[in-house]
Amino acid sequence: NAGVMQNPRHLVRRRGQEARLRCSPMKGHSHVYWYRQLPEEGLKFMVYLQKENIIDESGMPKERFSAEFPKEGPSILRIQQVVRGDSAAYFCASSPSIYNEQFFGPGTRLTVL
């Protein structure tokens, strides 16, 4: 059973460009979570999704950020018009339910020039 897959592992964007981060959860997991980790800091919850539904997006900035988890295919975290402050590691995690352990992907390290 493959673990949580994230791609790309490293992404470099110039200010104003769009960043698309992909996450494929573990097989059988319908719950996906996105976290942001700034250098030397902890994990900040961004959004929690189940298939085709956003359950909680309280941690996601209101502008420029969006997430989806379509019926088929990976979950996507999209950042429009990136700014330098968006540079961080973005981790995706999946679980069978909110009360189970979360399995984390290797992360996507976004650098905005």
The contact set with other proteins (CB under 8 A) reads 33, 35, 41-45, 48, 55-56, 58-59, 91, 93, 98-99, 101-107
Backbone angles phi, psi at 88, to 5 degrees: -175, 175
35 or 69: CB nearest other proteins: 35
35 or 79: CB nearest other proteins: 35
Distance of closest approach, residue 54 Cβ to other proteins, in angstroms: 10
Amino acid of residue 47: V
The length of the chain in residues reads 113
Measured CA to CA, the distance from residue 28 to residue 37 in angstroms comes to 26
